Amino acid sequence: MWFSGELTRRFGPEYVKLKRTLHDDKLRYERYIEPVVGDVPVADLTGERAALHADAIIEKMFELSPGARPATRRQILQVYNRILNLSVFPLRLLLRNDLPKGYMPTVKTDRAFSYLYPDEEARLLGCTKVPIQHRLGFGILAREGMRRSSMRDLKWDDVDLERGMLRLDHNKTDDPAVWKMDPGTTEALRRWRKMQAPVVREAGYIVANPASGRRFPRTRSADVLRDALKKAGVKRKELFQSTDARMAIRLHDLRSTFVTISLALGKTEAWVTDRTGHKSSQMLYRYKRAARTHAEAELGPLVSLHEAIPELAERR
């Protein structure tokens, strides 16, 4: 009922918010939780049994994903915890959620992030071994700063190519936003629209294969990006290695690329947050050191999107 949206329809979004990432939660449930507790009545998920089943879920995670980090464990347990909370209210199937307070693992958030240098990003977008819709998605993220889910769900109705405007009415923070796109993004989308087959264009999704309509992958997006970087011959080791101090690059870090380079080029915090949805200067603080280094090294801006993707550069 939660995954299908029935709970939201029955009780209203003020009680059961319909998450844009609900599909990801459904995949976590089907892979790690349902094999453990799928046939257990909700009424049995009480007392110590709530934690015992959570332990079994994590054992299943380590069985299926031996290298999973604490963040993955937390994401899976959040789905389980949410099911228990919904069972308490609004469904009233349980009197309380007995998963012990503090059971959720804390996740270290101060590991350094990686971002792409302009020459690396140019090599990535110029690599024709990588599906063109993937490269377009990478380029949009790095130039417009939106979240990966917004990029994947972006439709032609969301952009005004005549005025170069982009509108996001639905996003993670439920804060509608409108901004003027980078001119290279606007031109790239004009050319891209002409490349899409009529049936693909009618479906409405921008980041989709121009012939088949195949959209950007929903899952394993970090692997998609890293594999593409390797195909493009990008070899900087820190992009591919996760340590206690640094994260290997993820699709989310193309958004970091946007913030870092924008700040390095002198864009204001307000200009950046209008596009990313960050709510405070504190949220941007972790990008500022990398931005200063980028500026000092004179690494410069990204190549215009319509010039970076060879198939688009050839079109007029």
pLDDT digit string, tens, across residues 287-302: 999 999 999 999 999 9
Task: Using the predicted structure, report yes or no on whether residue 229 has a pLDDT greater than 90.
Answer: yes
- Neighbouring CB atoms inside 10 A of 52's CB total 11
Task: Using the predicted structure, report yes or no on whether residue 315 has a pLDDT greater than 90.
Answer: no
- Model confidence at 199, pLDDT cuts 50, 70, 90, reads very high
What is the pTM assigned to this prediction? Answer: 0.76
pLDDT, average across residues 129-152 = 96
The answer to whether the bond into 90 is cis (omega within 30° of 0) is yes
Mean predicted lDDT score pLDDT of the chain: 91
- Model confidence at 38, pLDDT cuts 50, 70, 90, reads confident
The string of pLDDT tens digits covering residues 62-90 is: 998 887 778 888 899 999 999 999 999 99
Residue 170 pLDDT: 62
Can you tell me the distance from the alpha carbon of 139 to that of 302, in angstroms, rounded to the nearest whole number? 9
Task: Answer yes or no: are the C-beta atoms of 173 and 187 closer than 8 Å.
Answer: no
Contacts for 101 with CB less than 8 Å, ≥ 6 apart:
none
Record the tokens describing residue 269, joined without a space: 């915090």
Task: Using the predicted structure, report yes or no on whether residue 174 has a pLDDT greater than 60.
Answer: no
Can you tell me the distance from the alpha carbon of 142 to that of 253, in angstroms, rounded to the nearest whole number? 8
Task: Answer yes or no: are the C-beta atoms of 192 and 205 closer than 8 Å.
Answer: no
Please give the share of the chain, as a percent, with pLDDT higher than 90.
Answer: 75
- Model confidence at 106, pLDDT cuts 50, 70, 90, reads confident
**Domains with residue ranges and CATH for the chain:** 6-88 (no CATH), 118-313 (1.10.443.10)
Can you tell me the distance from the alpha carbon of 57 to that of 49, in angstroms, rounded to the nearest whole number? 12
Can you tell me the distance from the alpha carbon of 32 to that of 56, in angstroms, rounded to the nearest whole number? 9
Alpha helices in the chain (DSSP H): 6-11, 22-28, 34-37, 48-64, 70-88, 118-125, 132-144, 148-153, 183-195, 198-203, 221-231, 252-264, 269-276, 281-296, 305-308, 310-313
Task: Using the predicted structure, report yes or no on whether residue 173 has a pLDDT greater than 60.
Answer: no
DSSP 20: T
Task: Using the predicted structure, report yes or no on whether residue 15 has a pLDDT greater than 60.
Answer: yes
